[in-house]
Amino acid sequence: MAKAPHRAPDDEAAKEAAAGVFRRQIFFWLGTAVLLALFLYVFSSILLPFVAGMVLAYFLDPVADRLQRLGLSRLMATVVILIAFIVVLVLAFVILVPVLASQMADFASKLPEYLTRLQALITSFDPQWLEQKFGVDANGLRDGLNSLLTSGFGLLTTVFTSIWSSGVALVSVVSLFVVTPVVAFYMLLDWDRMVAIVDGWVPRDYVRTVRAIANDINTATAGFVRGQGTLCLVLGVMYATGLTLTGLNFAILIGLFAGLISFIPYVGSLTGLVLAVGVAFVQFWPDWTMVAAVAGVFFVGQFIEGNILQPRLVGKSVGLHPVWLMFALFAFGALFGFVGLLIAVPASAAVAVLVRFAIARYLESPLYKGHSTEPVPPLPPSRRRGAPRG
């Protein structure tokens, strides 16, 4: 029987050609990512209404899909959603914004007085008692608090000035409240078609892998943007209502601020607690009952968030570590300004999914497994999770 011809050179040529195509695809997508980052950096000053419109369309797309299932056309569903959104936005600006603006101006004008009175309350304890019980020099404590409060006040002033100046520079009323609804309307109307077009651009050899990654990114982003966004709004309303019932000054401002930054775990509630209790000390002292009531609003809010709201609205499908989220906010904010803050959360979710995918591929590759057949030795007891350290 004749032997089959030896085809090793053809196989090697095919492997080399496939490797060449793969390398070209790697360079192509890396170049595309660099061009996208450069585009965002160059045009970051004018991208805000467009990015806001895209985020709004992404947020409202499930609502449009549900209305379509109820019998509305995509056009009619889009019109209904945007009209309802604009009505809610206008009502919020007519009712809420004047109150917040008034409280913010009042808070900024009274902040030096509040800091001075808070300092006086802290340093009003008996100096001899402090020295006997804790070995603390009252004069040194007073000087340290003076320096700390002065630095803190300067930092707050700088932050608010920066936010205001960047807001004036970037957020013009015409662009944000005229262009954004128009962009959101067209993107929401054509969302499914745009997704299909982008899917058609994916290389056919990797379309299943890309679809799986895109689905994971969508799950993580949707879980955070929609779930955590709703959670922040609910917490803001809950904190503002609870603080208003206690009679605290600037209750709506502090409550909404604490709720809206609650997407960073513990930071929002802790910041709101410090601000609210500080104001409560100055306003209610020496009535400890009211100070405790103000603090209780945040403790009750944390209990409701952790046991009721968080499991129902966000769940465990997001997988964004708080440290990674804070780094992404700082990094994207520094690179792209206010637009970077808008895209930081979805971008960090996408990068996290890509990193997990790359690690999973690495763990299945020869780079990790190699050719060793020896069993992997266990970690020593001192390095195992939960083991006591010496």
Residue 144 is assigned to a structural domain of this protein: yes
Mean pLDDT throughout 9-18? 68
| Range from 224-233, 289-298, 332-341, 360-369 that averages highest in pLDDT | 289-298
Residues 219 and 193 in one domain: no
Residues 191 and 273 in one domain: no
Computed over every residue of the chain, the mean pLDDT equals: 75
Q: How many distinct structural domains can be found in the chain? A: 2
Residues 156 and 224 in one domain: no
Residue 37 is assigned to a structural domain of this protein: no
Residues 137 and 244 in one domain: no
Residue 27 is assigned to a structural domain of this protein: no
pLDDT in tens, 300-342: 888 888 788 777 776 655 556 777 777 887 788 777 766 677 6
Single out the residue in 149, 169, 197 at which a domain terminates. Answer: 197
Residue 379 is assigned to a structural domain of this protein: no
| pLDDT for the residue 24 | 79
pLDDT in tens, 153-210: 555 555 555 544 444 444 455 566 778 888 888 888 888 888 888 888 887 777 888 8
| pLDDT for the residue 169 | 45
Mean pLDDT throughout 2-11? 55
Residues 346 and 220 in one domain: yes
Mean pLDDT throughout 365-374? 68
Residues 188 and 274 in one domain: no
Question: What does the H/E/C string look like for the chain?
Answer: CCCCCCCHHHHHHHHHHHHHHHHHHHHHHHHHHHHHHHHHHHCCCCCHHHHHHHHHHHHHHHHHHHHHHCCCCHHHHHHHHHHHHHHHHHHHHHHHHHHHHHHHHHHHHHHHHHHHHHHHHHCCCCHHHHHHHHCCCHHHHHHHHHHHHHHHHHHHHHHHHHHHHHHHHHCCHHHHHHHHHHHHHHHHHCHHHHHHHHHHHCCHHHHHHHHHHHHHHHHHHHHHHHHHHHHHHHHHHHHHHHHHHHCCCCHHHHHHHHHHCCCCCCHHHHHHHHHHHHHHHHHHCCCHHHHHHHHHHHHHHHHHHHHHHHHHHCCCCCCCCHHHHHHHHHHHHHHHCHHHHHHHHHHHHHHHHHHHHHHHHHHCCHHHHCCCCCCCCCCCHHHCCCCCCC
Residues 157 and 232 in one domain: no
| pLDDT for the residue 389 | 46
Residues 137 and 222 in one domain: no
**Domain that residue 170 falls in:** 45-197
Residues 169 and 118 in one domain: yes
| pLDDT for the residue 325 | 75
Which of 176 and 346 is assigned the larger pLDDT? 346
Residue 135 is assigned to a structural domain of this protein: yes
pLDDT of 149 higher than 50: yes
Residues 157 and 228 in one domain: no
| pLDDT for the residue 142 | 60
pLDDT in tens, 20-36: 777 777 788 788 888 88
Residue 387 is assigned to a structural domain of this protein: no
| pLDDT for the residue 127 | 55
Residues 173 and 305 in one domain: no
Residue 283 is assigned to a structural domain of this protein: yes
Residue 34 is assigned to a structural domain of this protein: no
Residues 179 and 219 in one domain: no
